[in-house]
Amino acid sequence: MFETIFHDIATICRDHPQLLLFLSLAIGYFVGKLTVFGFSLGSTASVLLAALVLGQIGVTITPLIKAVAFALFIFTIGYKVGPQFFGGLKKEGLQYVILSIFVAIIGLITAVILGKLFSFNQGTTAGLMAGALTQSSIIGTAEDAIRTLSISAAEQTLLSSDIAIAYAITYLFGVAGLILFYKLVPKILHIDLKKEAQQLESQLSATTDAPSQPIDTEGADKSNIIVIGLGCFLGTLLGVAALKIGFVTLTLGTGGGILLIGLLFGWLQSKYPAFGPIPPAAQWILSDLGLNLFIACVGLTAGPRAIHALKSDGASLFVAGILLTLTPHILGLIFGKLVLRLDWVLLLGALTGAGTATPSLNVLKNECDSSAPALGYTVPYAIGNFILTVWGTIIVMIM
Residue 229 burial class via C-beta count within 10 angstroms: exposed 0-12, middle 13-18, buried 19 and up: exposed
Average pLDDT (42-57) is 80
Listed residue (48, 58, 54) closest to 170, CA to CA = 48
Pairwise CA distance, residues 164 & 138, whole Å: 11
Binned at pLDDT 50, 70 and 90, residue 211 comes out as very low
Mean pLDDT of the chain, nearest integer: 80
Most confident of 221-225, 333-337, 366-370: 333-337
Buried b (16+ CB within 10 A) or exposed e, 120-156: bbbbbbbbbbbbbbbbbbbbbbbbbbbbbeeeeeeeb
CA 384 to chain CA centroid, Å, is 9
Most confident of the following: 14-23, 38-47, 87-96, 306-315: 14-23
pLDDT of residue 77: 77
pLDDT band at 363 (very low <50, low <70, confident <90, very high): confident
pLDDT band at 209 (very low <50, low <70, confident <90, very high): very low
CB within 8 A of 14, min separation 6: which ones?
Answer: 57, 58, 59, 60
The burial class, CB within 10 Å (0-12 / 13-18 / 19+), for 297 is buried
Query: Cα separation of 391 and 256, whole Å?
Result: 10
Question: In sequence order, what are the beta bridge partners of 36?
Answer: 39
Average pLDDT over residues 196-224: 56
Q: Is the dihedral of CA 47, 176, 323, 354 positive or negative?
A: positive
Phi/psi at 252 (5° precision): -75, -25
Interval 162-201: pLDDT, tens: 888 888 788 878 877 887 888 888 888 888 878 887 777 7
Give strand pairing partners of 39: 36
Residue 346 or 210, more confident:
346
Question: Cα–Cα distance between 391 and 147 in angstroms, integer?
Answer: 16
Q: How much is the average pLDDT of 18-24?
A: 89
Alpha carbon separation from 382 to 73, 116, 341 (Å, rounded) = 15, 29, 21
Mean pLDDT of 223-252: 72
Instruction: Spell out the domain ranges in the chain.
Output: 64-398
The sign one gets for the Cα dihedral 317, 323, 326, 331 is: negative
pLDDT in tens, 294-337: 878 877 877 776 676 667 677 888 889 999 999 999 999 999 99
Give the pLDDT confidence of 373-386 residue by residue, as tens digits: 777 777 788 788 88
| pLDDT of amino acid 377 | 79
CA nearest 173: which of 366, 300, 364, 360? 360
Of how many residues is the chain composed? 399
pLDDT at 212: 43
Residue type, 226: I
* Secondary structure of the chain as H, E, C letters: CHHHHHHHHHHHHHHCCHHHHHHHHHHHHHHHHCCECCECCCHHHHHHHHHHHHHHHCCCCCHHHHHHHHHHHHHHHHHHHHHHHHHCCCHHHHHHHHHHHHHHHHHHHHHHHHHHHCCCCHHHHHHHHHHHCCCCHHHHHHHHHHCCCCCCHHHHHHHHHHHHHHHHHHHHHHHHHHHHHHHHHHHHCCCCHHHHHHHHHHHHHCCCCCCCCCCCCCCCCCCCHHHHHHHHHHHHHHHHCEEEECCEEEECHHHHHHHHHHHHHHHHHHHCCCCCCCCHHHHHHHHHHHHHHHHHHHHHHHHHHHHHHHHHHHHHHHHHHHHHHHHHHHHHHHHHHHCCCCCHHHHHHHHHHHCCCHHHHHHHHHHHCCCCHHHHHHHHHHHHHHHHHHHHHHHHHHC
Euclidean distance between CA atoms 44 and 41, whole angstroms: 8
